[in-house]
Amino acid sequence: MLERTQNKKQTEITFVLPASHPAGEVSVVGDFNDWRPGVHPMTERPDGTRAVTVTLPVNQRHGFRYLADGGHWLDEDGADGHDGRNNLLHT
């Protein structure tokens, strides 16, 4: 799930995954962090879901995916689109 807060210059995107799915550590990787695993690790919230917030400039398109332990890639059902390999996000 994606949660968004936008103002004139930037959009805060909170990437959210259900509790314990998948098991183990997960990070969000995308062109906004040069596809580097671990830069945006997801942390547990009080309700058990895991999340991380990234601030991005408005009016841009970004590719991203979730990377779980063991090199397992996950897609986001709530993404703005898909380019055949990556999820797409429009700020």
What are the boundaries of each domain within the chain? Answer: 2-90
Angle in degrees, CA 65, 19, 5, rounded to 5: 60
Which of the residues in the chain have pLDDT under 50?
none
Residue 58 near residue 11 (C-beta atoms within 8 A) = yes
One CATH from 3.30.2230.10, 1.10.1740.10, 3.40.50.2000, 2.60.40.10 for 2-90: 2.60.40.10
For 40-54, how does the pLDDT look when each residue is reduced to its tens digit (9 = 90+)? 999 999 999 999 999
Report how far residue 83's alpha carbon sits from residue 91's, in angstroms, rounded to the nearest whole number: 16
Residue 61 near residue 23 (C-beta atoms within 8 A) = no
pLDDT confidence of residue 34:
97
pTM: 0.91
pLDDT confidence of residue 31:
96
